[in-house]
Structure 1
Amino acid sequence: MQRSAFTLIELIFVIILIGVLGAVAVPKFVGMRDHAKITSELSTAASVQTAIDACHGEWVINEGTFICGADIDPTDPAQFDATNGYPIQLGTGSDTPLDKILKNGKSVGWIKGADGYYRGPASNNGVKAAATDIPGKPDADDYWEYNSTTGIFRLIDN
């Protein structure tokens, strides 16, 4: 009669193998949360730029007789730049800066400067400033900027 049991050597080998696999896999998952947040912010920025470009496209095609976004009046000079074809007023207040461009565009910390540019934090959801700042990737000390004359929504790296 044979006994099918593991020897001590086999058990130690399996434990070492699991340890090596864990040592390789764990570092791969460490930065995933920040990478996911950065990707989310870049995706939202791309959506904002797409909405602005769509509004501009409507302006070009329809020569100013249209409704852009959520109730942006292209005939109101306080809301729309009729010379360049880009929305000026992205929101109705400082607490809802993007509600006229995006369906659920409420975010905090956005201001409209005297120069007409909207500026807001690039990372209000917890992405910390990296030890090595990666250009084009938002972190805690960067901000988004919208120029209503050119229609450019971009990341400003600090």
Structure 2
Amino acid sequence: MSRRAFTLIELIFVIILIGVLGAVAVPKFMGMRDNAKITSELSTAASVQTAIDACHGEWVINEGTFTCGAGIDPADPSQFDTVNGYPLLLGSSDTSPLDRILKNGKNVKWIKKADGFYRGPASNNGVKAPSVDIPGKPDANDYWEYNSTTGLFRLIDN
């Protein structure tokens, strides 16, 4: 006579095994969404810095006319720092503060300060501040800053 069903002990063992695997795996996946958002934000920040560096590189190489970003006029001293070689205008308006540097650079939370700095919140997309602040990883307490004199786009940890 052949056996066609699982015994009760085998079923309980499989259920316990699935429960243990679930208890180990679920906490590992809980932080993946926040980590993905942080990685995306760091990638965007690197793109901003690369675009700024590209403008500066064009300024260094070409002493005459050149293009920088989308609609930044390097000959206009209100748009481009002709002494240091960095763009002063990263965006076309307060509601599109990074659209001259990034293709999809619309973020209404960014503001241009009178001192030549741009400031914008880090992790405005729902990433909660961790219980322990990790330097170099943006969270809701931090902000991004662009200094148009030095061309530095960096994360300010609070």
What is the TM-score of this pair, normalised by structure 1?
A: 0.97
> Counterpart in 2 of 1:127?
127
| Paired residues for 1:5-154 under 5 Å | 5-154=5-154
Letter in 2 for 1:45: A
Letter in 1 for 2:5: A
Q: Distance in 1 between matches of 2:44 and 2:117?
A: 18
Q: Distance in 1 between matches of 2:33 and 2:150?
A: 34
Letter in 2 for 1:68: C
C-alpha RMSD of the superposition: 0.9
Give aligned pairs, total.
Answer: 158
| Structure 2 CA distance for partners of 1:64 and 1:82, relative to 1, 3 Å | farther
Letter in 2 for 1:75: A
Stretches of structure 1 lacking an aligned partner (at least 5 in a row): none
Percent of matched pairs sharing the same residue? 83
| Structure 2 CA distance for partners of 1:64 and 1:119, relative to 1, 3 Å | farther
Q: Distance in 1 between matches of 2:119 and 2:3?
A: 73
Find the residue that maps to 1:84 and give its secondary structure: coil
Find the residue that maps to 2:108 and give its secondary structure: coil
Superposition deviation, residue 64 in structure 1: 4.0
Letter in 2 for 1:8: L
Letter in 2 for 1:74: P
Q: Distance in 2 between matches of 1:45 and 1:96?
A: 16
